[in-house]
Amino acid sequence: MQKRTSFMGIVFALVVLLVGTSSVLAQVITCMDCHNDTTLITGKKTAWSETMHGTGTAYLRGTSAGCAGCHSGGAFSAMVAAGLTPDTVEAGDPNPTRQDCRACHQIHTSYTSADWALETTAPVKLFALEDVTFDGGKGNLCANCHQPRREFPEAVDGMITGISTHWGPHHGPQSAMMLGVAGSIKRSPSAHAMLVRDTCVTCHLGEGANHSFEPSVKACQACHSDAEDFDIDGVQTEVQAMIDELGDALVAAGVLDENSEAGHPTVTEAPEGVASALYNWLYVAHEDKSKGVHNPGYTKALLQAGLDAMAAMEAP
């Protein structure tokens, strides 16, 4: 009786071992879909390591709840899984990570190559704006973080208050710029928001999914066949000239710090016209940074409205 029990025990243990090993083996084989001798991982990692996602220090802000959803890769994944948005994240991330492979991809979820799937591509309701949704295919991934935290505020008795050195829509409002919203005036979405499939991803990663996140001229040539750089029809040159002119006017009026590169307002309140000029300038020059490419029409309209407001102020 004694013998028989121990024999059954051994058989049972063997069965467990066999079944266990084969599933472990199967798992190891799927690991090799990614962890192998190709440059599948290293090819992307090399480029990513030199980008702001890979080198920037803004991830350190992820320790605060209000910043975690966009600034910590880990908190971003947790936010998406919980169906939250950056403004509803309740806790900071004590161990913030960069915007890394795990932030954008579902790495180590199923442990198969299906884990290259993007963390999310669902349309993004821009939380700081009323009824505005960014729906740009795979670019929706980017828009979760690259969206404004504020829009131009309502004036009270013709005055805008609450201006600080860090005023403006916050860094990275590119999704709103593409849609033509969040400045002192509204316009329509750019042709690029409507016609470029996968928006941000198509221009900033290109065909080979290059992880430098730098836009490529090749991506433009699909539509602008004779493009040699991003300054198509001289639009970037024109926008830069408007940025310089409006920046000078704002510095001269004493509302923008002389070192305009830093983008720091020097006042805490201003009449609506001047405040809107300041806001639009910060939006285009300091935060969007595409010099018109994301939305040529809206960019020029924002700067022109600013120039007009400053001219109206100077006129007696």
Q: Which of residues 63-92 bind ligand HEC (CB under 6 A)?
A: 64, 66-67, 69-71, 73, 76, 86
Nearest-approach distance from CB 216 to ligand HEC, in angstroms: 7
Token duo for residue 84: 């939250």
Nearest-approach distance from CB 97 to ligand HEC, in angstroms: 10
H, E, C per residue of 217-247: HHHHHCCCCCCCCCCHHHHHHHHHHHHHHHH
Positions 151 through 190 that interact with ligand HEC (CB under 6 A):
170-172, 174-175, 178
Q: Which is nearer to ligand HEC, 129 or 250 (CB)?
A: 129
Whose CB is nearest to ligand HEC? 56
Q: Which is nearer to ligand HEC, 9 or 39 (CB)?
A: 39
Sole window of 5-13, 153-161, 230-238, 258-266 interacting with ligand HEC (rule: CB under 6 A) = 230-238
Contacts of 139 (CB under 8 A, 6+ apart): 175, 198, 199, 200, 201, 202
- Listed in sequence order, the DSSP H helices in the chain are 2-31, 40-48, 52-55, 65-71, 73-81, 101-104, 140-143, 174-179, 191-195, 199-204, 217-221, 235-252, 272-281, 296-314
Count of residues binding ligand HEC (CB under 6 A)? 87
Sole window of 4-12, 196-204, 249-257, 262-270 interacting with ligand HEC (rule: CB under 6 A) = 196-204
Residue among 81, 78, 49, 82 at smallest CA distance from 62 = 78
With binding defined as CB under 6 A, does residue 125 bind ligand HEC? no
Residues 220/207, Cβ–Cβ less than 8 Å:
no
Exactly one of 80, 124, 132, 142 binds ligand HEC (CB under 6 A); that residue is 142
With binding defined as CB under 6 A, does residue 291 bind ligand HEC? yes
Handedness of CA 88, 93, 98, 100 (dihedral sign): negative
Nearest-approach distance from CB 194 to ligand HEC, in angstroms: 8
Positions 258 through 277 that interact with ligand HEC (CB under 6 A):
none
Handedness of CA 192, 214, 278, 133 (dihedral sign): positive
Q: Which is nearer to ligand HEC, 179 or 255 (CB)?
A: 179
Sole window of 2-10, 144-152, 247-255, 274-282 interacting with ligand HEC (rule: CB under 6 A) = 144-152
- Indicate the helix (H) or strand (E) that contains 125: strand 124-125
